[in-house]
Structure 1
Amino acid sequence: MAARNHEGLLATTDWTAERNLLWAMIDQVPDYLFVKDLDHRFVVVNQAVARIHGYDHADQLIGKTDFDLHTPDLAARFFEVEQAIIQSGSPMIDMEEEVVDAVTGAKKWLSTSKIALHNDTNETIGLVGISRDISVRKQADRLRDEQSLVLEMIAMNLPLRDVLDKIMRLIEEQLEGVFASILVVDSDGGHLWHGAAPSLPGTYARAIDGIAIGPNMGSCGTAAYRRESVIVADIANDPLWSNFRDLAQLHSLRSCWSTPILSHQGDLLGTFALYSGEVRQPGSFERRLTERVVRIAAIAIERKQNEDEIFFLANHDALTGLPNRILLKDRLTQAMLHTELHHHNPWVSVVFVDLDNFKTVNDRLGHTAGDELLKIVARRMVGCVRPIDAVVRLGGDEFVILLVDLPARTDAISVILHKLRAAITDPIALDGHEFHITCSMGVATFPHDGNDAETLLMNADAAMYQAKNSGRDSFQFFTAEMNTKAHERFAMQDAIRSGIARSEFYLDYQPQVDLRSGRIFAAEALVRWRHPVLGVLSPVQFISLAEETGLIVPLGDWVLNEACRQNKAWQDAGLPHLSVSVNVSALQFQEKDWPQRVRRILKESGLEAEYLELEVTESLLMRNVDQAIATMKELQELGVHFAIDDFGTGYSSLSTLKCLPVTRLKIDQSFVRNLAHDEDDRSIISAVISLGQRLNMMVIAEGVETEGQLAFLRANGCDEAQGYHFSKPVDPGAMADLLMLQG
């Protein structure tokens, strides 16, 4: 019971039972009741006042002032208000004050009224105060105000991450000892990505970023999977957290309650979660708050998705999903600006593409089929360019391709154009009909052909019409100089394709000689082109273009087929059996069905696999060693042999070389050529011969032309050689004569 006998105030010594009951009732009142004298000392307090100040009994507060209980600033404010009340006699009603509970440390809001206290002669002898805890109301007011602010942020189209972060901070203000988090589902609907988690440990938030949706994927992944709330009170002992338990323990997280965020149509948008460092269940207030948060978060996320969809529709073609003219100009302007700021001289090219005779598709099958064809062509074009490039549909059958950060060479552009042309012209099957679509393309390049987007597009369009007027199914560069070079390559590419179809290519064979016996044991097949206008062309004049355009694959298959057929013909003529050596291109070697094609060619020609040797380069093998070994072993099981061509010019390591199923190393002729006067080349050749023999491989030197070169090779133990010293490449008949001479 509080003391009631301060001198000059409430002086009495005989308490009746009724007064005892009155004070007991006062002590039971949850409001804070107190009386102060003119010196602002407490003379009467109830138990609620004692508790908020951290005292067990009300008596312990008697005689103290606010300066004994609060910070100087807060005590001074209380003193100033109370002095005004005492001096003026005017009461203070429902003044809101923020204080700290001395026991819990929590901030509380009080609504306080204070009035002057008078005696029987109307003299002021102190003041009476009553305070009511309005923390819950203030919390609700703040929640309402902050909720309004969040909705305002959504209406103002502020970034989604800022909105979600604001929601999470609001929740954490409302609840003690929890960490709030929102994860947002990705476009594929299979994973959850970081939305906002201002108080979660950063390493934990990053660790769960991209978590899969599914059963037993913690609280959030499981809630998204089930489309219902998942309450895990004890992470350490819940099977849903078996895959993430150690991670949670590392960051002192013991409970997690997750709720899916759904759109108004029921689509999954993400998850909302509350974490705690204690084993606990959510209370009723936390559940109500979660319901409110989930609704607001759904509005924010769905609004952002709608905005993204509107932006996409405004900047993309509705039929193909490609960027449209609006986005093209922005991308093109940005690419030109980037090129100007970075002085490494790259090119930005605009390719105007128009499908030839597209109207015939609409006329024959209708616009629905025409639309389907446009979508197929669009996908093919996208597949031909890099992710940093862009394919744009302007409308109808007109497209623009933006190529950025290209080397300042027409060749780099031409390679892409050839690839695009080949993809577009590949037959398209629609409604039981097969269409062969061609295209006309025009190219304008920044900075040579224009300094702004409009000029580049106009010049590319003009170049496209030049291609149309030149017979269609072609491309034109805007500048005459580029046109000339590009057309030369374009014509050569078409000539290679036609040459394969018209059997203009043929093979010569260069003997390979065993240096111990002097006998021919093999012949290398070397392709030649009997061009109808330019005459006979060596591989130097067409192989690189064939590789760039992909024509090396059909050409290489023809060479392999012809070499195997010819070798079997020599055998059938009764000539000594020998191996035929065929060079393999990187594009051939990398194709998954290449071993099957080799098997088929051997079967069709009737040549046994042991009489075929395939030459591959070091650089080809080093592109993907594991794949190379697998491919070589598959063919080796058939009996095919392998040689490393141009050995010494690549970068293969000894450990890699040991793993390759290779029977022969071929010394590049560049080392043999300078044997007479280059000590380094002599050392390299000696080392290669020694290496090959240690690895149980045969070593053959190519380009042997002089007796001196041959003498050095023999003196150093080289096994085999080929070159003009023995024979130039000869036709099949002359090769047969050489074999007959040695019997």
Structure 2
Amino acid sequence: VFLKDREGVFLACNARVASVFGLPEAEVLGKCDYDLLRPELAESIRAEDRAVIQSGEPARHRDWIDFADGHRELLETVKTPMFSADGELLGVLGVARDVTALHQAQERLAEREEVYGAIVNQALDSILLFDADSGAVLEFNEAAHRNFGYGREVFDKLNLSDFGAALDQARLVRHIRQVIAQGESVFTTQYRNRSGELRDVRVSARALALRGRRCVSTVWSDITASARSQRMLELSNSTLERVARGEALSDTLLYVTTLLEEQNPDMLCSILLMDEDGMHLQTGAGPSLPDAYCEVINGARIGPAAGSCGTAAFTAKSVFVSDIEHSPLWVDYAEIALAHGLRACWSVPLLATDGRVLGTFAAYYRTPREAAEHERQQFDSISQLLSIALERHRESSRLAASVEEMRRWYAVTLGRESRVLELKDEVNALLRRLGEPPRYGSEP
């Protein structure tokens, strides 16, 4: 503790202050900082004193002080202007304490936070911290910014329910409530990033208490690639099983399109089948497309500029139209498509093993949309699956027709042979009545 006058001269100090200078208390009195400290430190401390005097308010300062015995301490000093009873400024009262250990602990903590922050921000998984009660985003790492596509100004306005895809919001909120109740949970869900793409994730969530605030820490691991592969495998297996057991083609096509729309909510699926003349497409399935639109395209002629499907069937190549309104391929059909809110259409041909076009698969979208690489790959897989299903169905139909033709031929042949035997029996009976021996013997 010390007291200085307005000019910075020590009027009083205790032994602790005197130990800084290695002097008895009495020898410190009457001296100023310039007499006792290094010039640059003395000037810094004097500037602090002047600031307190000018403001008339207490102030807190930290300075590294070299003691006379050679050790060094970080002293935190609270300086307060002192006034006489009549309001005259007397000087500055200082109360200092050693905060070296506290400072070192804070530095270690800051270093740990820096290391932790570096690890968290280098992680590939998205890490998000939510307020358990409001669902507000409290903190996120660099991967979350990159994967979700949002900056801090957007994250600060988002709620937990905003991260679930439309079909999964309720389930996501339900899982988080389970975390709050049970402490932790691991589950899979989907979210839609800023660009509108649906992503599959496995979320590991844990309940936390931070300064009395209930929070939920979540780690979002992207499993989109494996989830897409698994869904495609399951779709392929179930579709081919239906074909193998002889399910009606219309039912199989409806099953495929309905399931794809459930897995991809933005899709409006369509399957068109090539007519016998090889020049027109007939509706095979289109569960969510408007009936009026389906009526227009049913029986449409294929050609080099016949919409996405007609062109894909004509060229036997994939056609990805991202904007129907401005596509030259859609001149003849754009008006009806736009009238029903159809803005983009991606179509792939369904090819037999000999290269013949069996039909087309297409997905319509309500907004203009470019196909990403993974979506083009998905369409290739769907095309291969449907091509196999259509070809096997046609082979089964041809086989069934052949069997039916053979059955009819056999029935006719058997009927003729039976009639011949009847006629022989009638001739023999007539000869017996005439007293003649039978002409025809019995068949072995």
Question: Per-residue displacement from partner, 1:560-611 (whole Å, max 9, x unpaired)?
Answer: xxxxxxxxxxxxxxxxxxxxxxxxxxxxxxxxxxxxxxxxxxxxxxxxxxxx
Cα distance in 1 for residues equivalent to 2:356 and 2:271: 16
Which AA in structure 2 matches 1:33? I
Give TM-score scaled by structure 2 length: 0.55
Q: Residues 143 and 204 from structure 1, CA distance in 2 versus in 1: closer, same or farther, beyond 3 angstroms?
A: same
2:310 equivalent to 1:212? no
Query: Are the equivalent residues in 1 in contact too, given 2:321–2:345 (CA < 8 A)?
Result: yes
Cα distance in 2 for residues equivalent to 1:102 and 1:68: 10
* Correspondences of 1:8-407 after superposition (within 5 Å): 16=110, 19-20=113-114, 22-23=116-117, 26-27=120-121, 29-33=123-127, 45-47=139-141, 56=152, 75=173, 77-85=175-183, 95-98=186-189, 109-113=200-204, 129-175=218-264, 177-316=266-405, 324=409, 394-395=412-413
Query: Are the equivalent residues in 2 in contact too, given 1:98–1:107 (CA < 8 A)?
Result: no
The alignment partner of 2:152 has SS state of: coil
Q: Residues 237 and 77 from structure 1, CA distance in 2 versus in 1: closer, same or farther, beyond 3 angstroms?
A: closer
Question: Per-residue displacement from partner, 1:175-224 (whole Å, max 9, x unpaired)?
Answer: 46332211111223232111111222211112111112334333322322
> What is the Cα deviation at residue 116 of structure 1?
8.3
Query: Are the equivalent residues in 1 in contact too, given 2:293–2:336 (CA < 8 A)?
Result: yes
Cα distance in 2 for residues equivalent to 1:109 and 1:176: 14
Q: Residues 325 and 134 from structure 1, CA distance in 2 versus in 1: closer, same or farther, beyond 3 angstroms?
A: same
Cα distance in 2 for residues equivalent to 1:238 and 1:118: 56
Which AA in structure 2 matches 1:56? R
> What is the Cα deviation at residue 42 of structure 1?
9.0
> What is the Cα deviation at residue 36 of structure 1?
8.4
Query: Are the equivalent residues in 1 in contact too, given 2:149–2:195 (CA < 8 A)?
Result: no
> What is the Cα deviation at residue 160 of structure 1?
1.0
Aligned to 1:573: none
Which AA in structure 1 matches 2:278? G
The higher relative CO (CA closer than 8 Å, separation ≥ 6) is in 2
Cα distance in 1 for residues equivalent to 2:252 and 2:125: 38
The alignment partner of 1:316 has SS state of: helix
* Aligned alpha-carbon RMSD (Å): 4.8
Q: Residues 105 and 229 from structure 1, CA distance in 2 versus in 1: closer, same or farther, beyond 3 angstroms?
A: closer
State the aligned residue count: 309
Query: Are the equivalent residues in 2 in contact too, given 1:40–1:126 (CA < 8 A)?
Result: no
Cα distance in 2 for residues equivalent to 1:284 and 1:79: 36
> What is the Cα deviation at residue 261 of structure 1?
1.2
Which AA in structure 1 matches 2:284? G
> What is the Cα deviation at residue 312 of structure 1?
1.2
State the percentage of identical aligned residues.
Answer: 28
Query: Are the equivalent residues in 1 in contact too, given 2:179–2:206 (CA < 8 A)?
Result: no
Which AA in structure 2 matches 1:304? H
Q: Residues 239 and 312 from structure 1, CA distance in 2 versus in 1: closer, same or farther, beyond 3 angstroms?
A: same
> What is the Cα deviation at residue 113 of structure 1?
3.6
> What is the Cα deviation at residue 108 of structure 1?
5.5
Cα distance in 2 for residues equivalent to 1:313 and 1:138: 42
Q: Residues 316 and 133 from structure 1, CA distance in 2 versus in 1: closer, same or farther, beyond 3 angstroms?
A: same
Question: Per-residue displacement from partner, 1:605-636 (whole Å, max 9, x unpaired)?
Answer: xxxxxxxxxxxxxxxxxxxxxxxxxxxxxxxx
Residue ranges of structure 1 left out of the alignment (5+ in a row): 1-11, 86-90, 120-124, 327-393, 400-456, 466-743
The alignment partner of 1:187 has SS state of: coil
Query: Are the equivalent residues in 2 in contact too, given 1:53–1:69 (CA < 8 A)?
Result: no
Query: Are the equivalent residues in 2 in contact too, given 1:224–1:268 (CA < 8 A)?
Result: yes
Query: Are the equivalent residues in 1 in contact too, given 2:293–2:340 (CA < 8 A)?
Result: yes
Query: Are the equivalent residues in 2 in contact too, given 1:46–1:58 (CA < 8 A)?
Result: no
Cα distance in 2 for residues equivalent to 1:97 and 1:184: 37
Cα distance in 2 for residues equivalent to 1:99 and 1:142: 14
Cα distance in 2 for residues equivalent to 1:190 and 1:59: 53
Question: Per-residue displacement from partner, 1:719-742 (whole Å, max 9, x unpaired)?
Answer: xxxxxxxxxxxxxxxxxxxxxxxx
Give TM-score scaled by structure 1 length: 0.35
> What is the Cα deviation at residue 297 of structure 1?
0.8
Cα distance in 1 for residues equivalent to 2:376 and 2:266: 15
Question: Per-residue displacement from partner, 1:480-534 (whole Å, max 9, x unpaired)?
Answer: xxxxxxxxxxxxxxxxxxxxxxxxxxxxxxxxxxxxxxxxxxxxxxxxxxxxxxx
Which AA in structure 2 matches 1:145? E
The alignment partner of 1:165 has SS state of: helix
Question: Per-residue displacement from partner, 1:381-416 (whole Å, max 9, x unpaired)?
Answer: xxxxxxxxxxxxx249969xxxxxxxxxxxxxxxxx
Which AA in structure 2 matches 1:46? F
Question: Per-residue displacement from partner, 1:663-712 (whole Å, max 9, x unpaired)?
Answer: xxxxxxxxxxxxxxxxxxxxxxxxxxxxxxxxxxxxxxxxxxxxxxxxxx
* Correspondences of 1:541-580 after superposition (within 5 Å): none
Query: Are the equivalent residues in 1 in contact too, given 2:320–2:346 (CA < 8 A)?
Result: yes
Query: Are the equivalent residues in 1 in contact too, given 2:135–2:161 (CA < 8 A)?
Result: no
